[in-house]
């Protein structure tokens, strides 16, 4: 396994002293030079402006698991009961309380069970929003989850990939012709690659890209760099793993948190990899649940915006 040295991973103190319970879905918004992410059980979206260290929070009426932006700065959010359009208004909350946000529901799948929600999600290179669902009780190991496409016309597809336990790891190659998807449940620990029809928005020819039973951890959230390599958070192992487009592990970076959840490239040159993390219910360290930053020696790609109107 080749490497790029041992880059230093730093905790982003400006992100706040209070750790997230489940920090997920980091998104770099270049127009604001700011990083956004969510805390799922806290029902919050958080923003950090890197230059000033200014932090803002928005409170939703239900759990929010993933976010994307449109060209106007509206948020498309995957939540408990469906997909929502959100306007994150600027406010001056008293006593450090977050600004309350009520969204407009755009679409919802027919959930097979009561205890389900959306999980990992992002836009493809053409601006279609993709997200998957999961049964929230992971101990049930219920493969009722599915992956959906929400296109630029505002139409939610039928399940495109089904029988998922804990959908994760969505990402696309730089040219958009390969789609990646993972199932991070302990019983699965698989990353798949698909040939992606960029005109139709259809993934085909599913195959195993990496089986994390052969490595450490569970494959959680992911990002693709400018070289086309796939970075995956190895949850429960405190690692970031980088796989080449051929599925070969060629770099790993240790993270101070045992449960890194999702990573995203950001910063003015897109050369910083931001990593959110989950705080375990027991035995948490001082770093678990915090935000981290590392310069891995490679740059990322701009996060695509949703192509429709919210």
Rounded to an integer, what distance in angstroms lies between the CA atom of residue 254 and that of residue 241? 9
Where on the phi/psi map is residue 104: left (φ > 0), alpha (ψ -120 to 50), or beta? Answer: beta
Contact (CB, 8 A) for 119 and 141:
no
Rounded to an integer, what distance in angstroms lies between the CA atom of residue 46 and that of residue 82? 20
Alpha carbon distances (Å) from 153 to 6, 43, 226:
45, 27, 29
- Among residues 255, 267, 257, 307, the alpha carbon closest in space to that of 122 is found at 307
CA dihedral 249, 255, 257, 258 (to 10 degrees): 30
Phi, psi of 140 (to 5 degrees): -70, -20
Bridge partner list, 305 = none
The reply, when asked if residue 29 is annotated as ligand binding, is no
The reply, when asked if residue 117 is annotated as ligand binding, is yes
The reply, when asked if residue 119 is annotated as ligand binding, is yes
Can you tell me whether residue 134 is helix, strand or coil? strand
Q: Is 220 a catalytic residue?
A: yes
Q: Are strands 55-59 and 99-100 parallel, antiparallel or unpaired?
A: parallel
Can you tell me whether residue 114 is helix, strand or coil? coil
Rounded to an integer, what distance in angstroms lies between the CA atom of residue 42 and that of residue 110? 25
The reply, when asked if residue 218 is annotated as ligand binding, is no
Q: Are strands 178-183 and 145-150 parallel, antiparallel or unpaired?
A: unpaired
The number of beta carbons lying within 10 Å of the beta carbon of residue 3 is: 13
The reply, when asked if residue 137 is annotated as ligand binding, is yes
Q: Which of 220, 225, 236, 288 is catalytic?
A: 220
Phi, psi of 101 (to 5 degrees): -130, 130
Which residues are the active-site residues? 220
Point out the annotated binding site for a divalent metal cation.
24, 168, 220
Point out the annotated binding site for substrate.
117, 119, 137
Point out the annotated binding site.
24, 117, 119, 137, 168, 220
């Amino acid at each position: 396994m080749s490497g790029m040295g041992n880059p230093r991973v730093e905790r982003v103190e400006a992100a706040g002293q209070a750790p997230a319970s489940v920090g997920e879905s980091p998104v770099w918004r270049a127009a604001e030079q700011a990083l956004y992410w969510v805390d799922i059980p806290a029902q919050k979206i958080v923003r950090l402006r890197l230059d000033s260290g200014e932090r803002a929070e928005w409170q939703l009426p239900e759990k929010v698991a993933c976010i994307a932006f449109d060209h106007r700065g509206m948020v498309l959010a995957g939540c408990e009961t469906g997909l929502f359009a959100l306007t994150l208004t600027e406010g001056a909350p008293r006593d450090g309380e977050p600004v309350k946000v009520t969204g407009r529901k755009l679409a919802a799948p027919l959930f097979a069970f009561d205890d389900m929600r959306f999980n990992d999600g992002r836009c493809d290179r053409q601006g279609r929003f993709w997200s998957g669902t999961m049964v929230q009780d992971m101990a049930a190991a219920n493969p009722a989850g599915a992956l959906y496409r929400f296109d630029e016309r505002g139409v939610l597809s039928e399940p495109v990939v089904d029988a998922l336990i804990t959908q994760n790891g969505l990402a696309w190659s730089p040219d958009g012709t390969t789609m990646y998807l993972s199932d991070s449940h302990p019983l699965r620990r698989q990353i798949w690659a698909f040939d992606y029809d960029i005109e139709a928005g259809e993934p085909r020819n599913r195959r195993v890209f990496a089986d994390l039973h052969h490595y450490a951890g569970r494959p959680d959230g992911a990002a693709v760099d400018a070289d086309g390599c796939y970075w995956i958070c190895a949850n429960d192992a405190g690692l970031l793993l980088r796989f080449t487009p051929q599925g070969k592990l060629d770099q790993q970076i240790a993270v101070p948190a045992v449960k890194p959840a999702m990573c995203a490239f950001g910063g003015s040159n897109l050369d910083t990899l931001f990593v959110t993390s989950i705080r375990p219910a027991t035995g948490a360290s001082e770093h678990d649940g915090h935000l981290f930053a590392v310069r891995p020696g490679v740059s990322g790609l701009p996060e695509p915006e949703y192509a429709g109107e919210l």
